[in-house]
A and B are shown apart, each in its own frame.
Chain A
Amino acid sequence: MHLYNLTLQPPTATSQAIVGNFSGAREQEIIISHGTRLELLRADKNTGKLSTVIASDVFGQIRSLASFRLTGGTKDYAIVGSDSGRIIILDYDPKTSSFVKLHEETFGKSGARRIVPGQYLATDPKGRSVMISAMEKSKLVYILNRDTAANLTISSPLEAHKPSAIIHHIVGVDVGFENPMYAALEVDYAESDQDPTGEAFKNAEKMLTYYELDLGLNHVVRKWSEPTDPRANLLVQVPGGQLASSDRFDGPSGVLICCEDHIIYRHMDAPQHRVSIPRRKHPLEDPKRGCLIVAAVMHKMKGAFFFLLQSEDGDLFKVTIEHEDEEVKALKIKYFDTVPVATSLCILKTGFLFVVSEFGNHYFYQFQHLGDADDEPEFSSTSYPSFGMAEPFVPLPHVHFRPRTLLNLALADEMESLDPILDAKVLNLLPNSDAPQIFAACGRGARSSMRILRHGLDVEESVSSELPGIPNAVWTTKKREDDPYDSYIILSFVNGTLVLSIGETIEEVQDTGFLSSAPTLAVQQIGADALLQVHPHGIRHVLVDRRVNEWRAPQGKTIVCATTNKRQVVVALSSAELVYFELDLDGQLNEYQDRKAMGSTVLALSVGEVPEGRQRTPYLAVGCEDQTVRIISLDPESTLETISLQALTAPPSSICIADMLDASINKAQPTMFVNIGLQNGVLLRTVLDPINGQLTDTRTRFLGTRPIKLIRVLIQKNPAILALSSRSWLNYTHHNLMHFTPLIFENLDYAWSFSAELSPEGLIGIAGSVLRIFQVPKLGMKLKQDSIPLSYTPRKFITHPSNNYFYLVEGDHRVTGEIAAKKKLDEMRAQGKKIDEEVINLPSDQFGRIKAPSGTWASGIRIIDPVEAKTVAWYPLDGNEAAFSLAIVPFSARNNELHLVVGTAADTTVSPRTCSSGFLRTYKFNEDGTGLELIHKTEIDDVPLALLAFQGRLVAGVGKALRIYDIGKKKMLRKVENKSFSTAIVTLATQGSRILVGDMQESIAFAVYKAPENRLLVFADDSQPRWITAATMVDYNTVACGDRFGNVFVNRLDPKVSDQVDDDPTGAGILHEKGQFMGAPHKTRMLSHFHIGDIITSIQKVSMVAGGREILLYTCLNGTVGILVPFVSKEDVDFISTLEQHMRTEQNSLVGRDHLSWRGYYVPVKAVVDGDLCEGFARLPGAKQSAIAGELDRTIGEVLKKLEQLRVTTSGF
């Protein structure tokens, strides 16, 4: 089995974000790392909306990012630390809109290793050097400078290693223009490793160490090292240094050390200051639990600076330092606002805060205040003896604040993120949809949601109004060429035309010069200030002074179709003749002396727009009833001569010539495409050669069941094509590449561009008798998301076989369940304790829930109606029980009546996995599945992580045991058990009497149930240990799985073994076979293997296109959605593999990781082609494209067509 891996939705989880002037313009941009992908964002400072400028796969794992600017420079560069063993300096080139690798310095082995740098990056604030550090020991310092041509240079590395030191964090110390200095938080383990008494471990000191880069001597010295708080985790740079122009200090220099519960200000030879991190005043707060700072940002303004630190609950604190020159007077902290817990915070100079959430959507806030004017209590180091450092190892008393809704920040924009996807199903449930939807259980805690993902562009409707009749076409037009907006809407009915004027309101107008007693075929604003209407009996040329020049169709003939642009008009008569008109320099419309007889009824016509600075477009496309499309010249020297001809498979219904940019064909200028829509719903897209008028590179696509209508529109000021069939599609250019995406909107009968003051880039369409005005707001988002909010982190869900409802289990560790919390609060009230009702009623989706000790769970079962997108019922669990698995079982002992079995456990701890008791809760469905009724609850000995219906009974993975249960009156009855599994059973799949069991650490085992002897036997397993996260049966002998390290692989059982096992009626043969390698007697063979770089949480065999091939669709933790497509022929395998080989050499990874070793991170890649890399072919420069295509004995067009076909025919994306 050879597979083609393609990412449909790249990861959306963000591990880090940096801000800087990367384009060198006076505008700040944000670079975010999605782990395996870099994305550059730009914020509109007026609207506060974020937009993606570029995003590119790096084929490596990004571990750290930092921005820096050379002294005196205006442009920021990005430094990337990754698992490639190299330090990378990236430059964003705004001209080509791409990241350019400026430097790539190798320092170590690849892989995220303990002593290979890449985990931490720190830059000197003056941009003179950078430190890159590993988790342990290794730190390298590179000096950055300019050469004579002002190019960035990088030195060879200087070592600042400290053996046996574990590094918690590093940061650049701001020392102005003195020698660059770095601070590191280190713990030495050498002594603890040697001391059996454990004394040394207990006394291990966490050191704050300063490393100074001596620029004169060109080496790094350990300048200063002092013990600090043993629970310190993060360092933050404090501004310092003196300006050359004045003798004022920017700040006191030094660092803030964020520790559990405390913030310490620290600098060499200076007194320390310590404050306590304020805690939430919550009645259920656990006073023993520490509070960590997880994200921090420092912001410098003119003459001042402040810090925003975020605690692990999401509370932001504003920290300020009062100082006189270099002497710190006080360290102050106060509550600022609460936002979702972030991995990174970025402050923009335009007054925005970008919060990169650790899970779920990312948020972009605008500062309303800086927290100066409110009456929030402020805590200062001066209120403690010796600035809080009298007894450095004794914690300061707790201080508290009251959380409240946002005061200093206001939400400006939200970036949708699927991260984390915990389970997903692909089903076609929504009405009127011909492609399946992806239902993904996403998010964490109170911000969880069930998201419905549909392939298509989201459409925003602004106006919808009923019309008196059913129009068959709609146009809009300006009055003059240079008008900014449209003035008229023209609607054509069967027997007349209606003209509406666009103003404050939209109303009918009469005196426009348009003929209202006949239907209209075409409307055009022509020349500088005239209008044109084509109707069946003639052409009306309405001049600016309302005079009308009319050309009448010859007696007995009518116009059947027409095409126009700013200077040219072509009409086809019922006698199959073409009449050509052109505007002369006086603004007169002149008929060409000859008419062209086509010999077959003309069904469709199209001319392109007049190219800028030209008189006319030289080509006309004519589609005739004889199933041909002809390209006819409009050039004065060969007017109306046929140039080329294309045969079709069905009569054409519509043609559209458009000049659109597609960088895969031509990077410099737009390509002329002839789009031909056929009556059978197929669209052909061909490229028209601008020199000889030949049609080449034909691509086909099935759009729907109705004849296609094609309309040229403008989307974000670029030409695009709207294709209407039983679905509406948009063909547009985004990030220089051509895309073809359905619109998620009602079917349209006709549409046109619409531009008015309120909706400058809209579209207008008719659907039946309704007129609709709408926009396509986000071109980048190809998956439209609708979400249903959930209470806790979703764990698993299943669908009901008949009623389409979803049954979902949710659960959160370290959270008190709603019933238990209410009980506790009631108790406290009964004891007469004062409870702050406002604080406990704060919305948990913004403030999270108060953390409880380990072993506390909040959980429940939810019923969701995915079509209506709402929760039908919610059953919270009590008794510290948490649900982990569920199955719908038709118990044969109860006449195949469906039952829901939910596997739960009480007092579960995660590591090590223990529980006081596991349970199987059996429910009956009530009222068509909208309700559940508990029948009984069966106590079991371990956590049931996997349940499945099996031959009218239940098969359960209970800890290490695989068991079959049958339903009884009072409880579930255990029938048979197999305890040969090593860790814990996490997945189950079945066909016939075979059960595929996924173990948490020991891969997939094939088990069989032999009913006559009631035996459950494992007969085959894997030869490799695999930490299974998701698995699905591809066929009876084949299984596709994802593991915890980001791999996907396919294993197959030898069919001979399979037959042998199936033929053995009692299983005695297997029972007495000798095990192999301390496992089952047979081993599966690995067929393919691939490293995705994201942990697969669900994998499913499904067909994404109506009538298309079955593929494997997987979803991952970080929000990746991808597919694995089996190749159908050996030729395809050879062709695409060779292309991949060429792409590996042509397209270097942005982080310097070798592609083959990245895709074979843990196990060498086997029989899988990386489609994401191959699709990079479209972005290569033309010369490289043709070189590769030449090597493959193909043309560039053929290669691109093959790649598109692989994507479109299997995923529809």
Chain B
Amino acid sequence: MAERTEDEVIDGIWNGKLRYTANTQLEHLHARYTGTGHADLTKYEWLTHQHRDTLSSIVGHAPLLSYLALADGEAIGRVKFEMTERMLQPCGPPPKKDEE
């Protein structure tokens, strides 16, 4: 194994530091922008995010709410309420975590 040049060492430090700051930035971004994905996102989390996004988009677009209300024979107010309620847990309970 060849010895590392000074440049490489500096590079390594830089990279590590950069990676460290980038990570905290990313965490900050995740906290700030709910629903942003990351490398370790599970299928369940992704799906839940998708559903919450969709539900809030339906509530935000009045024509879509009317469309659903017409199809279902409910009042718009009821559909809006049920959509918002469903945001709490749109895809059922999370899967059990492995012991490890």
Contacts and interface: CB of A to CB of B under 8 A. Distances in A.
Interface in A868-895: none
Interface in A9-31: 13, 15
Interface stretch (A191-199, A371-379, A538-546): A191-199
Residue picked from B52, B66, B73, B89, most chain A C-beta under 10 Å: B73
Contacts of B71: 813, 910
Interface string A132-143: 001111000000
A189 B56 contact: no
Contact of A1117 (B31, B67, B87, B97): B67
A1175 to B, nearest CB: 23
A378 B45 CA distance: 49
Nearest to A854: B72
Interface in A832-865: 851, 854
B64 A135 contact: no
A797 B89 CA distance: 40
A194 B94 contact: yes
B26 interface: no
Nearest to A200: B93
Contact of A136 (B52, B63, B77, B92): B52
Contacts, number: 148
Residue picked from B69, B77, B89, most chain A C-beta under 10 Å: B77
Nearest to B97: A196
A189 B78 contact: no
Contacts of B22: none
A854 B72 CA distance: 8
Interface string B42-78: 0001001000110011011111101101111111111
Given A35-B63, A358-B69, A422-B70, A197 B87 contact: no
B34 interface: yes
A422 B66 CA distance: 11
A189 B89 contact: yes
A195 B93 contact: yes
Contacts of B53: 113-114
Given A196-B95, A294-B75, A163 B34 contact: yes
A526 B72 CA distance: 68
B88 A1094 contact: no
B95 to A, nearest CB: 6
A1160 to B, nearest CB: 16
A295 interface: yes
B63 A1094 contact: yes
A1118 B63 contact: yes
Contacts of A193: 45, 48, 89, 94
Contacts of A401: none
A361 B95 CA distance: 48
A125 to B, nearest CB: 24
B67 A168 contact: no
A341 B75 contact: yes
Nearest to A193: B94
Given A194-B94, A359-B66, A910 B72 contact: yes
A204 interface: yes
A63 B56 CA distance: 12
A115 B35 contact: yes
A1095 interface: yes
Residue picked from A166, A201, A295, most chain B C-beta under 10 Å: A166
B59 to A, nearest CB: 6
Residue picked from B62, B66, B75, most chain A C-beta under 10 Å: B62
Interface in A482-496: none
A112 interface: yes
A168 B34 contact: no
B42 to A, nearest CB: 11
B87 A136 contact: yes
Interface string A91-128: 00000000000000000000011110011000000000
Nearest to A1161: B61
B96 A113 contact: no
Chain B interface residue number, banded? 35 or more
A751 B57 CA distance: 55
Given A163-B31, A1044-B64, A204 B88 contact: yes
A886 B93 CA distance: 42
B63 A1046 contact: yes
A854 B89 CA distance: 22
A35 B62 contact: yes
Interface residues of A, number: 64
Interface string B1-32: 00000000000000000000000000000010
Contacts of B81: 168, 233, 292
B75 A1118 contact: no
Nearest to B83: A135
A669 to B, nearest CB: 41
A911 interface: yes
A793 interface: yes
B67 A1044 contact: yes
B88 A166 contact: yes
A1066 B96 CA distance: 54
A295 B66 CA distance: 16
Contacts of A256: none
Contacts of A187: 88
A201 B87 CA distance: 11
A115 B34 contact: yes
A241 interface: no
Interface in A790-809: 793
A343 interface: yes
Given A113-B53, A294-B77, A358-B76, A135 B66 contact: no
Interface string A1019-1051: 000000000000000000000000011100000
Contact of A196 (B48, B73, B87, B94): B94
B62 A135 contact: no
Residue picked from A196, A204, A851, most chain B C-beta under 10 Å: A196
Contact of B84 (A35, A168, A343, A1116): A168
Nearest to A1097: B67
B41 to A, nearest CB: 13
A1004 interface: no
A1098 interface: no
Contacts of A911: 72
B88 A15 contact: no
A312 B56 contact: no
Contacts of A814: 72-74
Interface string A153-175: 00000000001101010000000
A1095 B67 contact: yes
B60 to A, nearest CB: 3
Contacts of B94: 193-196
A61 B60 contact: yes
A233 B60 CA distance: 16
B61 A112 contact: yes
B70 A420 contact: yes
A812 interface: yes
Contacts of B75: 292, 294, 312, 341, 358
B5 to A, nearest CB: 45
Contacts of B59: 112, 119, 135
A201 B93 CA distance: 8
Nearest to B33: A115
A340 to B, nearest CB: 11
A1093 interface: yes
Interface in A295-334: 295, 312
16 contacts: A13-B66, A113-B57, A136-B56, A163-B34, A187-B88, A189-B89, A196-B95, A233-B84, A294-B75, A294-B76, A312-B77, A312-B78, A358-B76, A359-B70, A813-B72, A814-B74
Cβ-closest 5 pairs across A and B = A112-B60, A294-B77, A813-B73, A814-B73, A135-B56
Interface of B: 31, 33-35, 45, 48, 52-53, 56-57, 59-64, 66-67, 69-78, 81, 84, 87-89, 92-97
Given A194-B94, A1117-B70, 12 more contacts: A13-B66, A113-B56, A114-B53, A115-B33, A163-B34, A189-B89, A193-B94, A233-B84, A294-B78, A358-B76, A445-B73, A1116-B63
